[in-house]
Structure 1
């Protein structure tokens, strides 16, 4: 009963306007946005995100091509922050938006955003912060210290959008002013030496984010410190510890502390004004969702976020009711297939996916959900070889339609592992390519690292592990990656003995969620 109430509440919260329900899709090079809003506002929001991406690419010298269609970030705009918190779950009283990195399915959920000009609202700042993390890990395989990772994200997240189409990057992070002046202080030495910061108690209400932004901003713009940040990164890349690299690159931390105090007291600080001519973006294509697709949006968003078993059982009832009203809508049937799979109804999921593909063979999600269901059935099959060959078929078909979709590569590899077979070189190469396409999926990186360790390719495994090990929000997964790196450092010939024990400490098996459907 409790789950039924929660799912019903979510449906109401997600729905920005029950009377209108005119959802739009804005599709661009790097984003897909779903929102119940005016075409003008949705287009402007999409263009702002594309300009933001272009500005980051310009400043960081990234020349990466646009991702494949399914590897773009999908942004779902829900009614308000209360809806965001319900979807986020857990202890989320202060969550104003969140981002989930996932190969072939990265998503962000935000409340309705005022896409006007000038300083962005806090919900927009959250989205820009999280996309900065997405961009940085996608364009740089090197691990970043936590202070630099968060400081860089804050540096970019304070971007403002001007009426003439220009953007101003590197503005003062006004949303961090309160913590910088009133929260527990964090000293430069704490940022630059993580062992010192870990000694601190009651860190939940300190100025870590604000101070990280301040240090990043100062090192970027202060002329007397020119080149020091580049030197610091080079030392880290060479293998120096964070503390030693900081001392060599920046010198006395107490002197730097005093400089930051003076910098913070300045009435104005520098920023970068990037004119429209410097920001090349592609077109934004707006599509109005069909009546059935709009009706299914609350179910779709909840499914994409992930559900537990009880919630899945309630959600599939809603999905079936909507599908019964719109049996000829391929998008509706594709979402039904996902809800059926989440509820554990594999045969029904396959039937819904097949019905969707019969109406529209371009429905990517239908291939994915059919593949998921067939893989789950294959695990219990009497003839595993035949069952897994059949399970690969939807992913092979998807690969033919979207060659750079990471999931077909991931599931080709998994089709061997799940049978207890050694993946052939082609499957391992495919997994490497999947990481290249979705470097932000840390579970996928862990899968690749375990495969490479077992093959004795320890140097390549280290490259895969480092961004996981030093991810500031990595939790148990990061701890496991650090344990694996230490084992490789102490025992270079290690080929994964007792690896299952290390991975279990991360809360899962060696497949970790890499490309796995959310639940």
Structure 2
């Protein structure tokens, strides 16, 4: 386990980085991420934030090597070199401090079978940025291709280079020279594992070509427009790109040639500002447990961690961050009385602590499934959290759930809260599904379909995406009843069968 001297926290406008290593390690990573955000805003015409929203910041955890990160993801032998978990108000990404030795499918880099950790982090942030600022129903090949394009962003002293080839995909690129772009245009329900792998490599190639080739200018926008008009992927491609065989030939030539890209420089460029501090002894001592919890644990795994949480809470009784980690540990283990006591201690230490109130609200909503009077009680910490941060999406969502799950009539202010939560956290699937459910209840089927679109095209969602596509089709055919039942909100931290007060 890392000791206090090993950990630093670096804060910028859009990132909170906890890094194992030196102060400069934390500062460098935070600046790179902020510059990535700047580059994406410039390229995609996304204006700078006018008002800071702390809940929208991404927490990045940099520790260990690729094996350690894979272990946090569930298995040290999985080959996962980094991962990202989108959550309303507390999205988190994990990246190794040291390069690992894990092999990604069809990848090779600098003579070794690995993907640089920075590429993984940039790839995942590109997904987050796309959802945050331009959530839509993107084909899976474009979603992955877009993220791959930004994964290799290279910084200049006064700008950046976008569009360098992902050399860790060279093996897959050579294999795909014999494949047609039709592989990417199959309906999402027919996508196989090999097609998902192709989305990273061939998706990069097609996205890169349509983005940077002057011969294809405007065709990508036309393609998306046709998809939104109801054309299937193949028909939209044939209409926007022309003959697919010719596109295959052009892509082969493009792959064999020198990949285009763009170099952007700025006059009088100033690097983003960053505040760095060394973690206190207590904060550093909690990091191992903190990372386990943020990676996600089920109640059984959480129960194995509570002794460590109790020990930390006893050793550092005056550390609000330690008490918060203890609260989360008790909550995940469904030890609600201990979680409540720890959350109240946090508020004694830090009267304006928002996360403590979120946990109190979650606990009371859980109890409300057995005692309906607790729904009203839960609205007290929810309202307090909202006053502290009006744009905290989880607080807004919990406010909506406190009415929807109670069986009471949902007031207009709660409906507005749900819509606002989705605006603030469009990547959160629970909020998105709840909004679709509400729209179906209101008879706004077309609006519900638009909300569901990003979920049904996500090939990594597996069975849930398959079921959603079935419900989507039923809605289109005028039969929304089964979709309403499937999308009915529940408490996200409980198994579905235990979290619906109306059943």
- Calculate the TM-score normalised by the size of structure 1: 0.87
**Residue in structure 2 matching 1:513, options 475, 484, 492:** 492
**Residue in structure 2 matching 1:413, options 386, 400, 417:** 400
Aligned counterpart, 2:456: 469
Aligned counterpart, 1:48: 32
SS of residue paired to 2:305: helix
1:184–1:206 CA contact under 8 A, matched in 2: no
Aligned counterpart, 2:43: 59
What is the 5 A alignment of 1:111-190? 111-112=96-97, 122-162=116-156, 164-182=157-175, 185-190=178-183
Distance 1:406 1:92, change over 3 A: farther
Cα distance in 1 for residues equivalent to 2:98 and 2:268: 25
Cα distance in 2 for residues equivalent to 1:313 and 1:336: 12
SS of residue paired to 2:409: coil
Cα distance in 2 for residues equivalent to 1:178 and 1:288: 42
Cα distance in 2 for residues equivalent to 1:28 and 1:390: 36
Aligned counterpart, 1:225: 216
What's the CA shift for 1:323?
1.1
What's the CA shift for 1:59?
0.7
SS of residue paired to 2:161: strand
2:437–2:484 CA contact under 8 A, matched in 1: no
Cα distance in 2 for residues equivalent to 1:177 and 1:439: 33
Does 2:470 match 1:483? yes
Distance 1:159 1:310, change over 3 A: same
Q: Deviations over 1:111-162 (max 9, x none)?
A: 1168xxxx99621111111111111121123211111111111111111223
What is the 5 A alignment of 1:206-355? 207-266=198-257, 268-277=258-267, 282-355=272-345
What's the CA shift for 1:204?
6.9
SS of residue paired to 1:274: strand
Aligned counterpart, 1:440: 427
**Residue in structure 1 matching 2:67, options 72, 78, 82:** 82
SS of residue paired to 1:510: coil
Cα distance in 2 for residues equivalent to 1:418 and 1:22: 45
Distance 1:232 1:302, change over 3 A: same
1:368–1:394 CA contact under 8 A, matched in 2: yes
Aligned counterpart, 2:21: 37
Distance 1:232 1:463, change over 3 A: same
Cα distance in 1 for residues equivalent to 2:251 and 2:186: 17
1:219–1:228 CA contact under 8 A, matched in 2: yes
Cα distance in 2 for residues equivalent to 1:341 and 1:113: 32
Cα distance in 1 for residues equivalent to 2:34 and 2:361: 32
Distance 1:482 1:206, change over 3 A: closer
Cα distance in 1 for residues equivalent to 2:209 and 2:62: 34
2:140–2:457 CA contact under 8 A, matched in 1: yes
Distance 1:27 1:378, change over 3 A: same
Cα distance in 1 for residues equivalent to 2:127 and 2:269: 20
1:51–1:280 CA contact under 8 A, matched in 2: no
Aligned counterpart, 1:11: none
SS of residue paired to 1:144: coil
Aligned counterpart, 1:380: 370
What's the CA shift for 1:310?
2.1
Q: CA RMSD in A?
A: 2.7
Aligned counterpart, 1:69: 54
Distance 1:458 1:515, change over 3 A: farther
Aligned counterpart, 2:8: 24
Distance 1:478 1:280, change over 3 A: farther
Cα distance in 2 for residues equivalent to 1:460 and 1:293: 45
SS of residue paired to 2:62: strand
What's the CA shift for 1:457?
2.0
**Residue in structure 2 matching 1:198, options 183, 190, 195:** 190
- Calculate the TM-score normalised by the size of structure 2: 0.89
Q: Deviations over 1:313-346 (max 9, x none)?
A: 1211101101111111111111111111112111
What's the CA shift for 1:281?
6.4
Cα distance in 2 for residues equivalent to 1:473 and 1:277: 42
Does 2:378 match 1:391? yes
Distance 1:265 1:22, change over 3 A: same
1:113–1:121 CA contact under 8 A, matched in 2: no
Give the paired residue count. Answer: 483
Cα distance in 2 for residues equivalent to 1:390 and 1:475: 37
1:179–1:210 CA contact under 8 A, matched in 2: yes
SS of residue paired to 1:161: strand
2:65–2:98 CA contact under 8 A, matched in 1: no
Cα distance in 2 for residues equivalent to 1:317 and 1:304: 17
Q: Deviations over 1:406-447 (max 9, x none)?
A: 111111111112212232222111101000000111221011
Q: Deviations over 1:79-122 (max 9, x none)?
A: 111111111115962210000111111111111168xxxx9962
Cα distance in 1 for residues equivalent to 2:209 and 2:268: 24
